[in-house]
Amino acid sequence: MEESKDETVYCRECGTETDRDAKFCSECGARMKVEVSDLWYLVSVFLAIVGGLIAWLANKDKDPEKARNFLIVGTLITVIPIAIALIAFFSLSTSTGTEGVRTTVENISRTIPTG
Binding site for Zn ion (CB under 5 A): 11, 13-14, 16, 25, 27-28, 30
Nearer to Zn ion among residue 16 and residue 78 (C-beta): 16
Cβ at position 18, least distance to Zn ion in Å: 7
From the list 45, 109, 103, the residue with the least C-alpha distance to 77 is 45
Cβ at position 10, least distance to Zn ion in Å: 8
Cβ at position 27, least distance to Zn ion in Å: 4
Residues ≥6 apart with Cβ < 8 Å to 23: 31, 32, 34
State phi, psi for 108 to the nearest 5 degrees. -65, -45
Residue 79 Cα distances to 39, 73, 84, 100, angstroms = 21, 10, 9, 30
Nearer to Zn ion among residue 30 and residue 77 (C-beta): 30
